[in-house]
Structure 1
């Protein structure tokens, strides 16, 4: 595997990097580049999740949940003021795990899409 291929993704954290490396290790270089380009457009940076969570303290709670395709939770946060700010505070502490969970889901989705194209 070309070790520089993951450098194409900005702000890739260690756990996410290891997850993606394990996923693409059997691919040839061209497939890896295609995967990275597709995945890069789907993933969310944990800093973006953090910023959107902070926005929740100023009246727009739940933006981070909408960004991670958790529409139901986003609506719940929006209409309850971030579950009376408690949910927003929890998300503030857990913003990295929210981003990691979403990014792993997007990596698996991208991998499955590439497998389907490969047939």
Structure 2
């Protein structure tokens, strides 16, 4: 693995970094760099999700759902006050797993697009 790739992954959570390393180990160096550049732009940070979830207690419920591409749930949270704050509390507790799930989905989509581009 490219040493620059490992350095660029330093800002990832440990579990996320291991997942990404396993995901890209079969790619060549150029593809790894391309993957990481795309992934860094699309991934969500757990701190961002935590802050937007906390904002749900002050009248902006559902922003964390919009950021994780769950538009329908975001609209529902917005109009119901975070499902009467219960959904917001649940999201507050589960913000790390919600972020990791979103980031895994993004990584899989990017990897699929890189492999599709490679087969052309």
TM range (shorter): over 0.9
Count of residue pairs the alignment pairs up: 119
Q: Unmatched 5+ residue regions in structure 1?
A: none
CA contact (8 A) 1:61 1:78 kept: yes
Could you list the structure 1 runs, at least 4 aligned residues long, displaced by more than 4 angstroms after superposition.
none
CA contact (8 A) 2:54 2:92 kept: yes
Corresponding residue number in structure 1 for 2:114: 114
Q: Unmatched 5+ residue regions in structure 2?
A: none
Corresponding residue number in structure 2 for 1:44: 44
Deviations 1:55-77 (A, max 9, x none): 10000100000000000110110
Distance, in Å, in 1 between the alignment partners of 2:40 and 2:25 is 17
CA contact (8 A) 2:9 2:17 kept: no
Distance, in Å, in 1 between the alignment partners of 2:114 and 2:103 is 16
CA RMSD of aligned residues (A): 1.1
Distance, in Å, in 1 between the alignment partners of 2:21 and 2:10 is 15
Corresponding residue number in structure 1 for 2:64: 64
CA contact (8 A) 1:53 1:61 kept: yes
Distance, in Å, in 1 between the alignment partners of 2:11 and 2:51 is 15
Give TM-score, length-normalised by structure 1: 0.95
CA contact (8 A) 2:82 2:88 kept: yes
